[in-house]
A = this chain, B = another copy of it.
Amino acid sequence: MTRTTADVTFLRGYNQALVLAVGRTVRTFERSTVVDATGLTPQAVSKVIARLAADGLIRPAGVRRLGIGKPAVVYELVPDSRYAIGAHVARRTLRLVLVDLAGTVRHSTVNPLPGDFTPEHLLDALRVGVDAITAGDDLRGRLTGVGLGMIGPLDHANGLVRDAHGLRQWHDVPLRELAEAHLGLPVHLDKDVTAGITAEAWRHGATFGDAALIMVESGIGGGFWLGGAAHRGAHTNAGEFGHTVVDLDGPRCVCGRHGCLEVVHLGAAEAGDVARAARVLAVGVVNLLQTLDLAHVVLAGADLLRHAEDYRAAVERAVRTDVPRADWLTPTVTLSGLGADVIAAGAAMQVLDQLYGIPDLTLGAPPTIARRTSLRTAGA
């Protein structure tokens, strides 16, 4: 791991991110709202608000007149002030979404990808999809970039796809650079599950606690949000949660070990035993809770969403009965509110997060997308 130095631009970015996070999570807010939520002084908040308003990210929305005293100016986030495009690159499909600054999905499209597609296939499909989205609306100067959420292994810091699991044409592909050249936009590359949990975190604000996104979709993976940031691990390979052994004498898994969560779960699912499949997944989730003590568990993935309520109920039950001291250790268990769009939407929000989220002082490499020092609009 490397660390960057901290200077005043970090302070600005950090406190600004706190204010923006308030703006995302409430419909309207005023100065005192932010003061209470962040602990900044009123004067500091005024300065931050002035910067954000000058940038067009927030705007006044009337006044609040309640009792005696000068009325307070009410502000609101301007969702349309910034956009990002997100892509969920799966084995057979490419899902593209347009997300605004508030984290709302404004467009969503799905298109098939050729079997065993190549980087060129993907780049062309991205080009076509991005063009289609940008043609519809006039996003000039407000489109901040494109986020790609993809199966690993990959190298987030350097924008490399090392070996997309199940795709033979992908070995050490510098996808970020290629896509930036092809699209003419800043690009952020990350694992699908990490993108997914970023969606949840972005939409819940700067105080979103430790959380995992459990994704069941041709395999089982997990995306983690720990200590207020995405957890990617030492090689962007965190989240291979499906390949944790839950049954020492279980069937052999593709990864070479025996009784992985994924293969055991698959056995139950293929037998049509949804209830058992859900219970198996729940065992894995409780394992995760015991290990990481999470505040939130979010469920996602096409294979899970097909039996969403079965899975949710099974996990909810396990979390309440199988964790000791469940009275105070129980996390929230929810289905992702974004449904099948989570990954793509999260990929888009990773772009927004790099620009307008809490800045990161720990790096594997320099930031993908540079923050603007001045308040000029971002974009192509």
Contacts and interface: CB of A to CB of B under 8 A. Distances in A.
A209 B286 contact: no
A209 B2 CA distance: 8
A328 B163 CA distance: 12
Nearest to A288: B291
A7 B292 CA distance: 30
Contact of A11 (B10, B15, B286): B10
B7 A207 contact: no
A147 interface: no
A39 to B, nearest CB: 5
Does more than half of chain A's interface fall in helix, strand or loop, or is it mixed? loop
Q: How many copies of the chain does the oligomer comprise?
A: 2
A264 B224 CA distance: 28
Interface residues of A, number: 75
Interface centre among A209, A224, A233, A325 (most CB of B within 10 A): A233
Q: Please provide the 4 A-B residue pairs with the shortest distance between their CB atoms, ordered closest to farther.
A: A233-B293, A234-B295, A244-B287, A238-B293
Interface of A: 1-8, 10-11, 14-15, 18, 38-40, 44, 153, 162-163, 206-210, 222, 224, 226-229, 231-241, 243-250, 255-257, 259, 264, 280, 283, 286-288, 290-295, 322, 324-325, 328-329, 331, 358, 361-362
Given A11-B11, A233-B293, 4 more contacts: A1-B208, A3-B358, A6-B10, A245-B287
